[in-house]
Amino acid sequence: MIEDDFYATLKLKTGEEVFAKVAASEEDDRTMLIVSNPVIVSEIRMKATVVGYKVEPWLKTTTEDMFIINLEDVLTLSESSDIEMILLYQDYLRKSSKTEKNETKIDRKMGYVANVNEAKEVLEKIFNKS
C-alpha cells in the first residue's frame, strides 16, 4: 500500500541530505520510500550571510527521476511544509524539464557556422584590416 505523497528532507546514513517528493510503501514487512526527483540544496554564502541557494540533482549521471530507498538506509526524515523550499524545488523541476525538452541544436539560422579553417581565414582578414 502506497501512502500519499509529501515533500520531505531525508538524511541518509551516508551523510547525504536530500529534498524530494516522497511516498511510503509497505512491502514484505519493510518500508520503502519512493523518492521523486531528489535534489541537493546548498546555501550560497557571501561574507557569512546566506545570499541564495543552489539546487542540483542528487544523482547527476542518470536520467531517472524516481528512486526507491529502503527506510533502513534513512537516518531521519522530516516532512516539509516550508512553502519557500517547496516553490524552489518546483521551480527547479520546471526549469530542468524545459531544458531537457528544448535542447537547441546549432544551425545556420542562429548565425554563421564555420569550420576551423574558415573561421581562421575570416579572423585573419579582420586582423589584417585593422
Grouping H, G, I as helix, E, B as strand and the rest as coil, residue 6 is strand
Residue 118 placed within a domain:
no
pLDDT tens-place string over residues 60-98: 898 899 999 999 999 999 999 999 999 999 999 998 876
Residue 125 lies in a domain: no
* Residue 126 maps to a domain: no
What confidence score (pLDDT) does residue 76 get? Answer: 94
Structural domains in the chain (count):
1
The model's confidence at residue 47, banded by pLDDT at 50, 70 and 90, is confident
Domain containing residue 12: CATH number: 2.30.30.100
16 occurs within a structural domain? yes
pLDDT at 3: 66
Question: Structure pTM?
Answer: 0.69
| C-alpha distances out from residue 45 to 41, 49, 87, 120, 125, Å | 13, 5, 20, 43, 47
Q: Which three cell numbers stand for residue 62?
A: 542518470
Higher per-residue pLDDT: 130 or 30: 30
Within a domain: residue 42?
Answer: yes
Residue with cell string 511544509 = 81
Range of the domain at 49: 6-105
Q: Are strands 6-12 and 74-79 parallel, antiparallel or unpaired?
A: antiparallel
Which is more confident, 104 or 34?
34
pLDDT of residue 121: 85
Residue 77 lies inside a defined structural domain of this protein? yes
24 located within any domain: yes
